[in-house]
Structure formats: C-alpha cells, structure tokens
C-alpha cells in the first residue's frame, strides 16, 4: 500500500506507481490517497472523490502516472495494463458464440485512465465525465488474448476549467500491437450540482441487491447453457 506522510504534498509527486491492491482500494474508495484528498478538500465528500469502477467495468490491474514534461506532447502521460482471462465478465455476455471485449469498453478505460491521472494529484476536482473524442478500432480482444496495454498522453490540462485533453491507445499482447487509437479526447470534471444531482448516492440509488445478484446469475447460466448446448454439435 502507498502511504502518504502527513507533511508530504501529494501534488508535488512527479511519478506514481499503482499496483493491483492499490487499484482495488481506489475502486472501493478505501485508499489512503482518497482519504488525503477529502481531507485536503473539505468541501467535497467521498461521493465526489475520484474513483475507479468495480471489477465488471474496471479493466486494468496496475497504472503508472507521469507528471513530468514527458510523453508524446511533453505534458505527462499514463500507462496501465490488464491480464486477460476466460473469466473476464464481458466475454460471457458479449456475445454468445462470439466472445469479444466491447470496443466501447476500451474507450471507457482510456477515459478512466485520463481521469485517474487528472484527479490523483488533485490537479482538478469533480466527478469525471467523457465529453468528446475521435477513435479508430482496427483489432480485437478475444478470450485467447493474454494482456492489454493502455496509454494516455496529455495534450492540455486546463485546471481552472476542470478539463483535460488527451490522446490514447490500446494494444493487445504487445505494447506495439495497437488495436485502438484515440485522438483529441476531452474529459471534464463537475460538481454534483453542475450535474443536476442534489442527493447523496445512497439516497437515489437503492437497488434490490438480491434481485441484482439473481439477474447476474441468470445471465451467467444462460451463457453457460448456450455453450453447453452448442458444444455438443
């Protein structure tokens, strides 16, 4: 676990390395850096604190964040990777008989990495939202793939406007085997009031958790039945 001394200004760190355990803690908003962030900005709550998705939509196991004048545009960059598995959740549902990671998943993950870079050093404050960008897909990620590589290169960071502009790539099995590329992307960061949200999350999001589990289990069973049925032909 990364520890942040009380007298250390985290915004002054030029490089940050996050391992699998740190990524998991960030997704649960249980990392000491998030506690530091909320303490440094008493006007926000943990709902507003930067985060990553839980495993179903979290697509990298580690990350390297560079804030030096390096990268494609000498404004900083970030890289991340993910070791794929037959048990990755997108393969069983997308699609039966044609398991492939959604291209939109890779697109979302580049924006996740950009949001992590922008907020982890408290450069910007707010809830991240993808705004625009150009992208090209010329490859695919299959259950036979072994590893995914992500890269995000900062083009401009407008702190006062809470905006980040960047390019990005996704590669499979080799960092040079690029299958998605993203250009002129923009991500913004907003207060909950700017987003029209006026409640705490647990006030407007109250699902039936047992029903949610049943729905997920039913979908897994349906996928299994498909492969069992068609594997006999």
List, by residue number, the catalytic residues: 94
In 3D, which of 181, 179, 188 has the Cα closest to residue 160? 188
Q: How many other C-beta atoms can be found within 10 angstroms of the C-beta atom of residue 221?
A: 10
In 3D, which of 16, 76, 14, 7 has the Cα closest to residue 36? 7
Q: Give the DSSP H or E segment for 79.
A: strand 77-83
Helix residue ranges, H only, 121-176: none
Q: Specify the DSSP class assigned to residue 70.
A: -
- Residue pair 50/119 in contact (Cβ under 8 Å)? The answer is yes
In 3D, which of 109, 152, 103 has the Cα closest to residue 128? 109
Measured CA to CA, the distance from residue 152 to residue 68 in angstroms comes to 14
* Lookup result for tokens 């090209």: 136
Q: Is 127 exposed, middle or buried (0-12, 13-18, 19+ CB in 10 A)?
A: buried
């Amino acid at each position: 676990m990364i520890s942040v001394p009380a007298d250390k200004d985290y915004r002054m760190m030029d490089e940050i390395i996050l391992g699998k355990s740190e990524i998991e803690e960030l997704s649960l908003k249980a990392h000491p850096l998030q506690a530091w962030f909320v303490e440094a900005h008493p006007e926000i709550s943990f709902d507003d604190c930067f985060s990553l998705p839980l495993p179903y939509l979290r697509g990298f196991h580690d990350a390297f964040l560079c804030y030096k004048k390096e990268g494609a545009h000498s404004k900083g960059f970030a890289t991340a990777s993910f070791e794929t598995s037959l048990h990755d959740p997108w393969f069983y549902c997308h699609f039966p008989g044609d398991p492939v990671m959604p291209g939109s998943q890779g697109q979302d993950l580049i924006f996740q990495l950009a949001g992590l870079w922008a907020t982890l050093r408290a450069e910007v404050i707010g809830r991240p939202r993808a705004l625009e960008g150009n992208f090209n897909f010329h490859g695919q990620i299959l259950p036979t793939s072994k590893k995914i590589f992500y890269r995000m290169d900062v083009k401009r960071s407008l702190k006062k406007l809470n905006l980040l502009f960047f390019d990005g790539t996704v590669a499979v099995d080799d960092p040079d085997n690029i299958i998605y590329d993203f250009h002129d992307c923009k991500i913004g960061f907003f207060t909950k009031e700017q987003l029209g949200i006026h409640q705490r999350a647990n006030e407007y999001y109250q699902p039936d958790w047992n029903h949610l589990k049943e729905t997920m289990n039913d979908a897994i069973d349906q996928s299994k039945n498909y492969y069992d049925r068609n594997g006999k032909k």
